[in-house]
Amino acid sequence: MSRLARLIRRILWIGAALFALLVGAVLWAEQRALSRHAPGHAPGLPVDAAIVLGGGMDFDRQLNGLGRQRVRTAVTLLRAGAARHLIFTGDVVDYPDLSEAQLMHDFALSLGADPARLHVEPKARTTLQNLHLSFALARSQGWRRLAIVTDAFHLTRAGALAALLGRPDVALVASDGLIHDRLSTRIALVLREALAWPLNALKAAGWVLLGWLGWSEQDRAAVIVSLPGAPPPA
């Protein structure tokens, strides 16, 4: 029994060490994204459309600080001519009558954005779904040059998932909303992002494996893209 207990403790210590390394990698990637992918000098701009990933919603059914800052970043691109259109993407699980994408759209309108250049994808509930459905919307409009706007801590994973979906060429634009938020929110979201990496690695492995087996992108998407993401932060 003592051998089993030692083995379990060893496994737990190894798991904790690996997770700590993931957290460190997320923090490093965040700082790298802030320095290399700021809106004013992100490589790959201008684009036909920028995909704006949802940052979350408060209990009052309004965008939280991260979401508002992502929209501000995207509208800045629009005004500067760095993006011709914006795609807001994201659903809200707890409110079937509401989508985060629509809230972002409405907030962009309040900032004076041209409504003809704003587009909504209201069904996605994970980052992989955000990108898969937004890429499909962009293809239907004939938009080829694309960017992703999200917080710096999330940008590296979003770029990796875009590459998995066949779009390694997307421009990446870092929003800085998290660095202005509460410390408790920052800790919760960084921990959630670290947890999301191994979950997304499993999705990526499944996507590649099914591709090797001859599954089409549409069939793979029906299985892999619909899988849940990381749980929301406590």
Give per-residue pLDDT as tens, 41-69: 889 999 999 999 998 877 778 898 899 99
N- to C-terminal Cα separation, the chain: 35
Share of the chain above pLDDT 70, in %: 97
User: Which residues have CB under 8 Å from 205's CB, separation 6+?
Assistant: none
* 35-180: CATH superfamily: HUPs (3.40.50.620)
Q: Specify whether the CB–CB gap between 218 and 54 falls below 8 A.
A: no
Residue 230: what pLDDT?
66
pLDDT tens profile 132-176: 999 999 999 999 999 999 999 999 999 999 999 999 999 999 998
Confidence class of residue 234 from pLDDT cuts 50, 70 and 90? very low
Backbone angles phi, psi at 140, to 5 degrees: -65, -25
Q: How far apart are CA 184 and CA 175, in angstroms?
A: 19
Host H or E run for residue 161: helix 152-164
Record the tokens describing residue 30, joined without a space: 């965040």
Q: In what order do the strands lie in the sheet with 47-53?
A: 118-121, 83-89, 47-53, 146-151, 171-175
DSSP β-bridge partners for residue 88: 52, 120
Over range 87-115, report the average pLDDT: 90
Mean pLDDT of the chain: 90
Looking at residue 151, what DSSP letter applies? E
Q: How far apart are CA 52 and CA 57, in angstroms?
A: 15
In degrees, rounded to 5, the angle at the alpha carbon of residue 216 between the alpha carbons of residues 199 and 227 is: 25
pLDDT tens profile 197-217: 999 999 999 999 999 999 998
Record the tokens describing residue 231, joined without a space: 């749980």
Q: How far apart are CA 179 and CA 48, in angstroms?
A: 28
Residue whose C-alpha is closest to residue 137's, from 49, 12, 76, 77: 49
Residue 157: what pLDDT?
95
- Length of the chain counted residue by residue: 234
